[in-house]
Amino acid sequence: MPIDPTTLKGNWNYPTRIWFGPGRIAELPQGCASLGIKRPLVVTDPGLAKLPMIAEAVANAKTAGLGVAVFSDLRPNPVGKNVTDGVAAYKAGKHDGVVAFGGGSALDVGKSVAFMAGQTRPLWDFEDIGDNWARANADAIAPIIAVPTTSGTGSEVGRVSVVTQEENHTKRLIFHPKIQPSLVIADPALTLGLPKHITAATGMDAFAHNLEALCSPMFHPQADGIAVEGIRLVKEWLPVAVKDGSNLAARAYMMAASTMGATAFQKGLGAIHSLSHPVGAVYDTHHGLTNAVFMPYVLAFNRKAVEDKIAALARYIGLKDSSFTGFLDWVLALRQELSVPHTLKDLGVADDRIDMLAEMAAADPSAGTNPIPVGVKEHRTLLEMSFAGRLG
């Protein structure tokens, strides 16, 4: 029976307040009012800034009497200067809140701008290490509304912003509990114009978040439950969204899977991400696509620690072969169907900096919750596997 996408609406608080459903971007002025925002700064990327969806949202906000402006000077893999420039625009316009509007880059920069607008210490002092977050003046963090336009990063419900430190080409995870948006307007209609390759890459990012959260050895049954259902939604709806980008139900379920992945990965991530972060920082590759390349190699590497868990997952999502091998074969088939490169070389990454990448990966916070302990040696092995296309 066909699904009526207009029924896929709801308001919930998990972990933050979410207004979900087609057409809900029209409620942006009400969202600002609920948080006391009168002069929002819309943070988006240069491409989106030129599209009607931004113009319409801004016009709607101005009609409601809001003093709105747009900042869009940011990169696909955002760097520290993007945040610094955004804070300057925020202060110059005397804004009192941020609407982070776009994909992962816009969401991460928007969250960081709202966070840093009232801080006196540099951005990197708040990297997600120990209790660095406690250094922040929590009362000075501006309210944030997140409006995702892709279904992958889940940054709209996250307490972290990923920003590259230009000096050493290292992705830093900036953490604070209040960097999590106060409101998410999750309107799947905003994703209808995404091209196939971006739909595929961001969808595989959502998959990677749910999968690594499930495989993390940390104890968090709620996150496990969210992750397995998120993966089922990816299995059922990502191929549909890529094949027919106008299918609003598929877009809605993938947007839900994206928020589920970022909710679940409070349990931890793993080597897919610890490898993807340095590769993305050094080679400026798309994060979701890089995750998709690494996925089968990390799965194979972790097999001894996750085999039973993956077999149970395979049964839940309805694979005919409900074994670890059956699941891995399905992942490989899904990647092929979505035209994901099979190796790092196919992704355009050179193999002349493996040692440096392995060291960067070992230092990444995501490595700490991989099911099998991974240091420089293990990351080097995974990089070699990913260059050679070798699963064992």
Q: What beta strand segments (E) does the chain contain?
A: 10-13, 17-20, 40-43, 69-71, 97-102, 144-148, 160-165, 170-175, 183-186
Q: What is the model's pLDDT at position 167?
A: 87
**How is residue 109 written in tokens?**
């920069």
Two tokens at 122?
Answer: 């540099």
Q: Return d(Cα 218, Cα 241) in angstroms, integer.
A: 32
Domains, the chain, in order of start with CATH, read 5-190 (3.40.50.1970), 196-388 (1.20.1090.10)
Q: Report d(CA 250, CA 23) in Å as an integer.
A: 15
Rounded-to-integer distance, Cα 75 and Cα 54, Å? 18
Per-residue pLDDT of the chain (392 residues; tens, 9 = 90+): 678 888 888 888 888 999 999 999 999 999 999 999 999 999 999 999 999 999 999 999 999 999 999 999 999 889 999 999 999 999 999 999 999 999 999 999 999 999 999 999 999 999 988 899 999 999 999 999 999 999 999 999 999 998 999 888 888 989 999 999 999 999 999 999 899 999 999 999 999 999 999 999 999 999 999 999 999 999 999 999 999 999 999 999 999 999 999 999 999 999 999 999 999 999 999 999 999 999 999 999 999 999 999 999 999 999 999 999 999 999 999 999 999 999 999 999 999 999 999 999 999 999 999 999 999 999 999 999 999 999 97
CA–CA separation, 263 and 15 (whole Å): 7
Q: Which of 92, 95, 134, 93 is nearest to 114 (CA)?
A: 95
Give the separation between CA 302 and CA 307, rounded to whole angstroms: 8
Contact 262, 158 (CB under 8 A): yes
Q: Can you list the alpha helix ranges (DSSP code H) found in 183-286?
A: 196-215, 221-243, 248-264, 271-283
pTM of the model: 0.93
Angle at 180 between CA 179 and CA 184, to 5 degrees: 135
Nearest to 243 by CA among 251, 233, 231: 251
User: Distance (Å, rounded) from C-alpha 31 to C-alpha 51?
Assistant: 22
Angle between helices 324-337 and 303-316 (to 10 degrees): 70
Pairing of β 144-148 and β 183-186: parallel
Q: Cα-flanking dihedrals φ and ψ of residue 184, to 5°? A: -115, 125
Q: Using alpha carbons only, how large is the chain's radius of gyration in Å? A: 20
The span from the CA of 87 to the CA of 71, in Å, is 10
Please state, in angstroms and rounded to a whole number, the distance separating the CA atoms of residues 253 and 89: 35
Nearest-CA neighbor of 112 among 54, 171, 186, 199? 171
Q: Of 306, 295, 301, nearest to 333 (Cα)?
A: 295
Residue 56 CB coordination number (10 Å): 13
- What is residue 1's predicted lDDT score, i.e. its pLDDT? 61
Q: Is 284 left (phi over 0), alpha (psi -120 to 50) or beta?
A: left
